[in-house]
Structures are given as structure tokens and as C-alpha cells.
Structure 1
Amino acid sequence: MRDMPANKENSPDSSNRSGYFRKTTSGYKAFFPNSLPPEPVVVLSGALQLQLSAADRALGALNMVISVLPNPELLTGMFIQKEALLSSQIEGTQSSLVDVLGAEEAHPPTKDVGEVLNYVRAARHGLKRLKEDDLPLCLRLIKEMHHILMADVRGGSANLTPGEFRTMQNWVGGSSPANARFVPPPASELPQLLGDFEQYSNLHNDMPPLIQCALLHYQFETLHPFNDGNGRVGRLLITLYLVSKGILDQPILYLSAYLKIHQQEYYDRLQQVRTHGTFEKWIAFFLEGIEVVSQMVIDTTRRVQLLERTDIDAIVAAGAGSQGIGFIRLMLQQPVVQVKDVEQALAVSFSTANKIIALAEQLGIVQQISQGRRNRKYIYKHYVDILAEGTEITF
């Protein structure tokens, strides 16, 4: 049994529905969360039930749109990269979608781009383990993804223990726990709390999966079990949970688009659950995000479909034939290419690949983004412009 405070004087709200604030032996106050589910249980009032129904319908519509795509994996990869970028931007990463898409394996990426690429690798690893290895959403998988996320970039040093839960106190905001905005539970509390978290994440009960997902994200961010990378891992778990429960057919929901737009409210809603037990308000915010972003993904998908048809018609009419169709579909999967990429993907000569790119450039489908005549890079600009909406860096 976890050690609990003897009184409630340190909690801003007398109900202590979410847990307790308690002064530690080091002199600062930390939050000791209750395990899920909350007591009293979440009340699905009329308004919250309507919001849940709207989110369910939006996800259903999203699944339907993706199900009729001839090659859904083309967009799935791009949407994973968009979520990775947006989630990293919430944490302060200053990189653009073009930076990420144009990264080359032959040259080490910048620190910020490396963080986004690691997020993509961690997401793909998690999805593979869920689908191919039949692994549940468990602490082992979470640690594996964290290890990939934190490799060789900010936070990847040994003292921050990539892939291992923290053994010391961390905090959010401020220069120390004494002046922090939020202090998660001490490391000594984590084994019990994380065990409860894992059990709840795989619990089959009457709680709607979207409600359970919102609660799990809140709890993970509150536990803050790693020394760094908690926000990114916590948001990654949203997608994995929805896929693991069959709520989302493909990992295409970039919820971080909504969380980035409403970043301060996102943080405030989480904190208000800790201080006042307002689970229902947090859940309503989360469900609204699901609904809004589902519609964003549907709109983006339809615009990309229209662009694909338009550009295929144009390049075929200009004389590229079936190779033109293959070229456009390559660009949907890899929007920044060199001539050698087209040569390999379409199994054509270097000269033919060069001619296809020149034709696409003449039609305004691609643009050269590198300098000089060697190792030239081309971008599928209209496609990237659609995908990049909402990822713009603001200062």
C-alpha cells in the first residue's frame, strides 16, 4: 500500500478526488495522485455524453474515409511525421516539416530534427510491437519507445537514463521543486502507481474507450515517470491506445495539432484535475480535440486526393504515361526526392528519372530546393503545403 498523507490540509480541494499535495521531507510539496479510475466515478452528464458521441462519430467518419483510400499507408506515414513534429513543437523544438522531410541519412540531422525523427521511429516501433508482436500497451513497451525517443539527442545523455523510469525527483516549470509549477510524485511512489497505470490501460470495463484514453493521458503526465520526454511519450500513447483498442484503424490522428493551438489551456486543464479534481472538464477538452482533429484529417485527406488526381492527369497528359503515375505516388510517400530516389523507386534509368522530374518541374508539380546542379533536391510543394498547415514555427 502506498504511503498516504495523514490529513487533507495540503490539497487545494477538500474532495481529494485526484490525489493529495503533501510536503516532502525535503521541504517542497509534491502531488501524490490516486490511482485510476477516479472516485467518485466520471459522470457522463448530458453535455459530456453529447461530446463523447460527437467524438465517436468523428472517428467513425475518419476511419471510413481512410478505409476507401487505395493506398492508405502513403498518408499514414506522413500523418505520423506530422504528429511527431507537432508534439515536439509543443516541447519547444524549432523545426519545420520541410526540415524533417528533407533530412538525409548520410548527414546527421540537427538536434531538433533528430528529436522529431526519433519520435517517428518510436511511434513506428510501438505500432509494430502492438500489431505484429501482439504486445499489450505495457510498461515494457513504453520504456522501449522512450529509449528510441531519447537516443542521441537532447535528453539522450546517460544521466537522464533513456528507457528507464526516473529514480529521482523531477518537476515542471521553475528552477527547482521549491518554485515549480508542478511537482510529480516522488520516485519512491512510482512502482505502485505505474503498476496501477498498466493495469488500468488494459482493463476491460464499461468505461468508454475515449474516456479511458483521456484519463490515461492525464495520469501519465501527472506521474511524469521519466527524467525527460514525458510529454511526447504521453501524447504518443494516445494514438497507440486508440489503435490498440480498435477505435482508430490507422495511426492518422495528429491530436497535437489541437493541443498546440490550445497549449496553455491543455496544461491548465491537466493541472486543474490535480488541484480540484475536474476530470470531466479535462475529458470534455480532450474529446473536443478528438472531434476537431478528426475533421482536420478528413479535410486534409480529401484535399490530398484531389491534388493527386489533378497532378496525375496533368503529368500523364504531358506524356509521362504510367511512369508519371508512379512518380506522383512516390512523391506522396516521399515528398522530398533526388533523381536517384526516382531512378530506384520507378526502376528506370537515371536519364529517364531526370526527364520525369524536369517535366514535373515544368508543370509546377515539383520545385528544386537545393543549390547547384549536383545532388539536387526536389519538393512536392503543394502537397507539403497542405500537410504543413498548423506546423508553422512562431516566435
Structure 2
Amino acid sequence: MAIIINPDRTKPWNALPELPIDPNIYLDVDILLQLGDSKAALARLQGRSIAIPNQGLLINSISLQEAKASSAIENIFTTDDELYKAYSEENVSQVNGPAKEILHYREALWKGHQYLQEHKALDIEYFVKMYRIVSQFNDGIRPPVAQIVIKEGGSGPNAGKVFYTPPRGAGIIETKMDNLIKFLNDEVNYPLDPLLKMAIAHYQFEAIHPFRDGNGRTGRIFNINYLTKKGLLDYPILFLSKYIMQNKEEYYAGLAGITQRGNWKNWLLYMLKAVEVTANITFDKINDIITAKEAITDAVLVNTDIQRPDSLISSIFTQPFTRVQHLVKTGTYAENTARKYLDQLTEMGILEKRSIGKGHYFLNLELYRILSE
């Protein structure tokens, strides 16, 4: 199968090849060895997450970190403090700035997961829904009049120059998205390992660039949603974007390598390695969180007379910042009791009380440390 590359970065690449790719590309010793390592790491993570008594304690914070890392790839930055405080607000609509965009990403991550659990197959509506949540626009597939080009960032000699021009024209994007979706759903004609399909589909989606904005974030949400759809994970708890953020130049070089040279191997190895590394990181974080939770539970049982301590400990491990009203609204404690118990945990060095405006937040120091590492 001949390799087709983009001959002119400044013109729409309407000749972007349809899927599937040549099987000889991924039937490669290096790729197959890395695929085995990645699948083993993911299976270990899945096995560990199943053993957690209440996965909801960990899922909120872990998925929020994924949202933060993915948004940082798009130069949307916020501090952990700002993010967790924003997430702990009762009315998220009052949150502004980068933290709000990250919360939109997390919302899309979860709604995408739920959507794919409720539907038998991926469809164009899934991608449009994810785009609308992360971008906060109400449109869909970009029209032919949208003159979208990808330019070099940074401040180097090529900054501002056209890096890539995605396909454009009446019906072209729709046709290419139909092909991508068929490739993902059709296991009879395209019986490919889900990790390889995810990596191939991620490139194809970014190359099609179907929306005006938010394509990178939508594509990374798809990565994790697809893994849960295929049963490789129960919940979207993989820190995949952390690896991409830490190896950002390789990420963009891998995408460009396919477009400009037809080099699929480097891209597939990169994405498979990302799965392996982040599965191991997430596995370790889950173990650290469980260990911290057990140690704090033991300390509370031995040193306090707190009633229903399991409920209190579960609450402070759902997210790093807790407020009195969180415990009141969930019916865990009355207001005075909630305040008393949170103050007790503060005196024990488990929480740190912080004042923001007229309100008070209680920071779970161990959970915050683990997630920030």
C-alpha cells in the first residue's frame, strides 16, 4: 500500500487517506512488544480499580487531574488550588477563567463515558456532544467557509507559519468522519486491538479536525472514553494527558510525522508507551490514596469519638477541598457537627483550614500531595 503524505501544508488536505491503514505498519516487532507491555499495565490497573470498595472516592480527583493535564496541553493553565476550590464550589457556573474550562473538560469526560455506556456504537453525535461541552459552542461540524489552519506556536523562527491545513469542502469532513466511525465500530472488517485502534483513530480525528475549536481536547477525551467503551477500564481514570503534557513535543512530532512522512511507527509507539506509563502512574496513585485513607481512618478511630467516621473519611477523599456545607447537603452531619469534626481533623494535622473570601475550605493534605506529585 503506497504511503500518501500531505504535499502542501498551506492547502486543505482533502486527500487525507481513509482508514484502515496498511496492517504491515503495526505488524511490527517493536510495536507488538510495546502493545503487550501496554495491555499488561492497563490490565493491572483495571484489576486494582475493581478491588476498590468505593471507586467514587478516587474517580473524581483522578479524572479532574486528567482534565487539568489535557487542558494544559492547549495552554490552559491553572493551579491545583484554584482548580480544586472551583470544583468544590456549590455553583460551578460562578467559576471563571481556566478552572472553568478544565471543569468543562471533566464534565465532557464523564458525559462521554455515560453516553458510550448507553449506546451500542460510537456515532457523530458523541463527538459533537464532547466538542460542545469543552468549547461551549452550540454548532457542530465546521462548515466549508471556516478557513481553519494550524499554525506553529512558540517564539521560534517558524512561529506563526502554517503547520497544517485540515480537509475542507462540502461534505468532505462528514465523509471522513463517517469512515473513522465505521473503522471504530466495525470489528468484523477491522478486527484490530483496541489500543491500536485508539491510537490510529486519535491521529485521524486530529487530522480531520472536524470542529472550529476544541479538537485536541475532544480527541483526548475520546482516547479514554474508547478504552472504557471497549471494557479495558471501568471508569475514565487514566492519566493519559499527563504523559502527553510531559512529552508534548513528541506528541506533535508524532502527528506531523504521519502527515508529512507517513511515519506511523513512531506515533503508535508513542501512544502505546503513554498508555503503559500512565497506567502504572495511576496504579501507584490509587495505592497511595488507599494507604493514606486507611491510615487516616485508623487514626480517627483511635484518637477521636467522631460518629460515622467512615462517612467523614469518604467525604474528604472524594476531592481535596471540603466545605462544611458538603457534609450538610449530603445529609452526613448537621452543620455544627460537621464543623466540629472538620476542626478536629485540622487539629490532628489531617486537614488544613483555609479562608477564601468569607468562606472556609478544609484541604486534605495527603490527598492533595498524592495528586500533585
Normalising by structure 1, what TM-score? 0.86
Match of 2:72 in 1: 89
Residue 182 (1) aligns with residue 164 (2): yes
1:17-49 Cα shifts (integer Å, max 9, x gaps)? 2444358xxxx3333310111136423222211
Residue 378 (1) aligns with residue 362 (2): yes
1:315-352 Cα shifts (integer Å, max 9, x gaps)? 12122344322111101113212212223335322221
Residue 165 (1) aligns with residue 165 (2): no
Most deviating of 95-104 and 272-281: 95-104
Compared with structure 1, are the counterparts of its residues 356 and 17 closer, same or farther at alpha carbon in structure 2 (3 Å cutoff)?
same
Contact 2:5 / 2:261 at 8 angstroms: preserved in 1? Answer: no
Match of 1:72 in 2: 55
* 1:370 aligned counterpart, secondary structure: strand
Contact 2:306 / 2:341 at 8 angstroms: preserved in 1? Answer: no
Contact 2:58 / 2:317 at 8 angstroms: preserved in 1? Answer: yes
Contact 1:137 / 1:202 at 8 angstroms: preserved in 2? Answer: yes
RMSD, aligned CA: 2.2
1:228-262 Cα shifts (integer Å, max 9, x gaps)? 10000000000111111112222111200100000
Residue 368 (1) aligns with residue 353 (2): yes
Structure 1 unpaired stretches of 5+: 1-14, 390-395
Aligned length, in residue pairs: 361
| Counterpart amino acid of residue 165 in structure 1 | R
Shift of 1:166: 4.2
Shift of 1:16: 5.6
Normalising by structure 2, what TM-score? 0.91
Alpha-carbon distance in 1 for matches of 2:334, 2:248: 49
1:340-387 Cα shifts (integer Å, max 9, x gaps)? 222333532222111101110011111112157x53111112201211
Match of 1:56 in 2: 39
| Counterpart amino acid of residue 288 in structure 1 | K
Alpha-carbon distance in 2 for matches of 1:46, 1:245: 24
* 1:376 aligned counterpart, secondary structure: strand
Shift of 1:105: 4.0
Contact 1:326 / 1:346 at 8 angstroms: preserved in 2? Answer: no
1:136-175 Cα shifts (integer Å, max 9, x gaps)? 2211111012112122xxxx4xxxx544434323111259
The sequence identity of aligned pairs, in percent, is 26
Match of 1:4 in 2: none
Most deviating of 339-348 and 250-259: 339-348
Residue 234 (1) aligns with residue 234 (2): no
Match of 2:22 in 1: 39
| Counterpart amino acid of residue 29 in structure 1 | K
Alpha-carbon distance in 2 for matches of 1:139, 1:112: 28
- Out of 120, 143, 153, the position equivalent to 2:106 is 120
- Out of 324, 329, 335, the position equivalent to 1:350 is 335
Match of 1:341 in 2: 326
Contact 1:80 / 1:252 at 8 angstroms: preserved in 2? Answer: yes
Match of 1:9 in 2: none
Alignment of 1:192-231 (within 5 A): 192-204=175-187, 205-231=190-216
Alpha-carbon distance in 2 for matches of 1:93, 1:173: 17
Alpha-carbon distance in 2 for matches of 1:34, 1:282: 16
Shift of 1:111: 2.1
1:40-88 Cα shifts (integer Å, max 9, x gaps)? 6423222211101000100110011001110112212222111111100
Alpha-carbon distance in 2 for matches of 1:194, 1:17: 21
Compared with structure 1, are the counterparts of its residues 298 and 146 closer, same or farther at alpha carbon in structure 2 (3 Å cutoff)?
same
Contact 1:51 / 1:288 at 8 angstroms: preserved in 2? Answer: yes
Compared with structure 1, are the counterparts of its residues 310 and 184 closer, same or farther at alpha carbon in structure 2 (3 Å cutoff)?
same
Displacement over 6 Å in runs of 4+: none
1:156-206 Cα shifts (integer Å, max 9, x gaps)? 4xxxx5444343231112599x93111111243212111111111112033
